[in-house]
Structure 1
């Protein structure tokens, strides 16, 4: 609702302010008294075309301001917020400046806006009905707005329920359409997906397997060289000049010294004894390793065959092992989705029918 209209330097009006009260306001006067000029000024606030002829003779610009009560104009408030305009949800200040050059400037709550944005907001707040103009009364959307405004206090809860139920109905219909569209494409790929899933499942893929196979293959291929190195290392710890024997002798010498000079070399003897036992453990570990380094052609063939299988799968699918494992899981989910297609669509159709009946029921209550 327009509450206050301020006009300055517009046509023949030097300055005028009108306060509008609730209900009907009538502007009366003789022909030529300026009634239509006031209507023209209001027209500038809703975005009608400006002209330099509107600027009072001898002035640089005309200014029209309007203060509107927007407490009940939810659509206007929504538009303003989308335009990032600061909104006081009770009042709105609209200003139009028209310059003698013919250009104009539009402001809403002191923020400059385009003429198009001004029109977008004001069509929700104000309408001018002229004898030969196309009016919002002819627009179907405006009819609905009038009905909603009339029914708001009495039927708002029911109207909100209708909107929510209808939105749920549309969302479920779209979900069904998306499912049907997607599953038609998936059905065409079902055989291929099943083949791929079987192929990957039979491969028993494991993270890090290729890296371990590379180590094992290298070990077997170099078993002769490895065996010689292990043997030499073991002999270093077991021959007649073995370091462990020397450490054992050294420990005994320190024991004799400690009998004569107590406690002086306790720490040294402790360290040597610890090193001795470490080397003893190493000697047994090397011996066990030597027993497992024999060249086994059958095992090598198995490892190489497994490596070839994994590399072939990587090349075929263009993915590494971790990605193949994830792809296998994806295939499994998609196959299950397709196989459960009928159940999913049937359930959705039941929900859609139930929502449709609710929409009809609430709509009938509104009408």
Structure 2
């Protein structure tokens, strides 16, 4: 939900701080007062294109800051997380700065971000519906997802995506196997030679490191032997270390009963030392006995080590990877010799995966057709009071050719309208006029209010070109919509304005030759006067005030 909007030096606005609440907020004012500047400012904060013409004359830069409630699980948190940015505990603050030369900077919670990221965040925070809007409901690319959400088909859609992924993986595996087999048939002689080389060498995992260590020992065998023999002589011939420890133990045993607390720890330490000394002596003797000084063994180790490294270079891998290379080549040779039996198996698996996808996708298509029928009936019921009783709304669900199937299923979904009886339905944003477009959008939004993640909706002159009972119907639907979402509406209709829970008046005034726009939140007496002005025009009469009272009272008690 939009909590606040701060605007500095944007066109006619010098300094403006607005605070919003949930429910329905209406913005009224005379034509040219600057209502569109408010929407342009908010759009700027949400990533719209920057223009140096937005900077107020005489100022160096324009700044717009918008603050939103950000409940747990809101999509904006995921977007920020993907960029390594942390969302605030309860709110998200987005800010845009535009300088006089047209350059701009964007921020999210005071962290610099790209304008593209700001726009992506904005798409999850606010929907702005104007007479010439081409986003949201009017973007055909969104219709399939909207229908799935409306029909409660998300789990079925997720199952279709999983089935699609499984099918395409099997298809890719089969295609790769066919490509490998074709390549292997062309290079059969080279493949057989490589297999024979690898079989002859028979490399083992970790063998290179073992050979390298063995080679080092053989190359320095005499030096190692000299050191080992010196150590052995030091602990065996020059003195008997273990015997010395045991002699010390026997000497201490004589006084153990007279000083046990002092002597026993020493005896234990001497015992451990004697055991370690004996083990060291045994290891030295074994090591001396295992020293290999045969130069032929060095040649054999070096030959195998160099053969492994040469073969690894040939196959562009590490020596430790040669066993895996050998296994892969053996499989390719087996497939070649088997005449494509593996490919036949992979083809069967691919066909089974395709069938799984088709079954899941057709079940989803059936659910979409049912949801489309329900949606069409509910939208139709909303159209007549909006002076669109002769219009038709159609959710078209049609199967695409197989080459166009996707993870979304088999279907192409589009919201179509026909505004005149007998006329073929066409795309919403191409068939309907500006005013009709806004009312179609409103009717759809009333039906779809509960399914979208966007918590705030803004309607710009949704009541254009209508009045009387139709305007009252628009206001009633905006009020219903505001029970689910935060709704802000820019309106010239007193019937719509009277429905607002919160009323803002936009006005333009001149001080010392400088024109500025201001926005005032109205209390109840001020609302009465504003609605009366909207009814009567420039000169407010008592009759207009009485009519305003009637409208405000009716909407209060409705």
TM-score range, shorter chain: 0.5 to 0.7
1:35 deviation in Å? 1.2
1:66 deviation in Å? 1.8
Q: 1:273: which partner in 2?
A: none
Question: Is 1:172 the equivalent of 2:146?
Answer: no
Q: Whole-Å Cα distance in 2 between the matches of residues 173 and 354 of structure 1?
A: 11
Matched position secondary structure for 1:62: strand
Q: Which has the higher helix share?
A: 1
1:60 deviation in Å? 4.2
Counterpart contact for 1:76–1:121, Cα < 8 Å: yes
1:168 deviation in Å? 1.9
Q: TM-score, normalised by structure 1?
A: 0.57
Q: 2:544: which partner in 1?
A: none
Q: 2:37: which partner in 1?
A: 37
Distance 1:328 1:160, change over 3 A: closer
1:107 deviation in Å? 0.5
Moved more, 159-168 or 139-148: 139-148
Distance 1:144 1:199, change over 3 A: closer
1:75 deviation in Å? 5.7
1:171 deviation in Å? 1.9
Matched position secondary structure for 1:32: coil
Distance 1:56 1:332, change over 3 A: closer
Q: Whole-Å Cα distance in 1 between the matches of residues 67 and 362 of structure 2?
A: 39
Question: Is 1:9 the equivalent of 2:46?
Answer: no
Counterpart contact for 2:181–2:340, Cα < 8 Å: no
Matches within 5 A, 1:21-170: 21-22=22-23, 24-69=24-69, 76-88=76-88, 91-132=91-132, 134-151=134-151, 154-170=152-168
Question: Is 1:344 the equivalent of 2:342?
Answer: yes
Distance 1:330 1:61, change over 3 A: closer
- The structure that has the greater radius of gyration is 1
Matched position secondary structure for 2:19: strand
Q: Whole-Å Cα distance in 2 between the matches of residues 156 and 118 of structure 1?
A: 27
Distance 1:15 1:180, change over 3 A: same
Distance 1:335 1:133, change over 3 A: same
Unaligned stretches of 5+ residues in structure 2: 215-295, 314-318, 369-558
Counterpart contact for 1:52–1:102, Cα < 8 Å: yes
Counterpart contact for 2:46–2:122, Cα < 8 Å: yes
Say what the alpha-carbon RMSD is for the aligned residues. 4.3
Q: 2:465: which partner in 1?
A: none
Q: Which has the higher contact order (CA 8 A, sep 6+)?
A: 2
Q: 1:295: which partner in 2?
A: none
Counterpart contact for 1:61–1:97, Cα < 8 Å: yes
1:77 deviation in Å? 4.3
Q: Whole-Å Cα distance in 2 between the matches of residues 104 and 205 of structure 1?
A: 62
Q: Whole-Å Cα distance in 2 between the matches of residues 203 and 98 of structure 1?
A: 69
Q: Whole-Å Cα distance in 2 between the matches of residues 49 and 352 of structure 1?
A: 47
Q: 1:363: which partner in 2?
A: 361
Counterpart contact for 1:95–1:107, Cα < 8 Å: yes
Counterpart contact for 1:52–1:98, Cα < 8 Å: yes
Distance 1:110 1:166, change over 3 A: same
Distance 1:121 1:182, change over 3 A: farther
Counterpart contact for 1:92–1:108, Cα < 8 Å: yes
1:122 deviation in Å? 2.5
1:39 deviation in Å? 0.9
Counterpart contact for 1:85–1:109, Cα < 8 Å: no
Q: Whole-Å Cα distance in 2 between the matches of residues 157 and 200 of structure 1?
A: 50
Q: Whole-Å Cα distance in 1 between the matches of residues 337 and 184 of structure 2?
A: 10
Unaligned stretches of 5+ residues in structure 1: 212-302
Counterpart contact for 2:52–2:101, Cα < 8 Å: yes
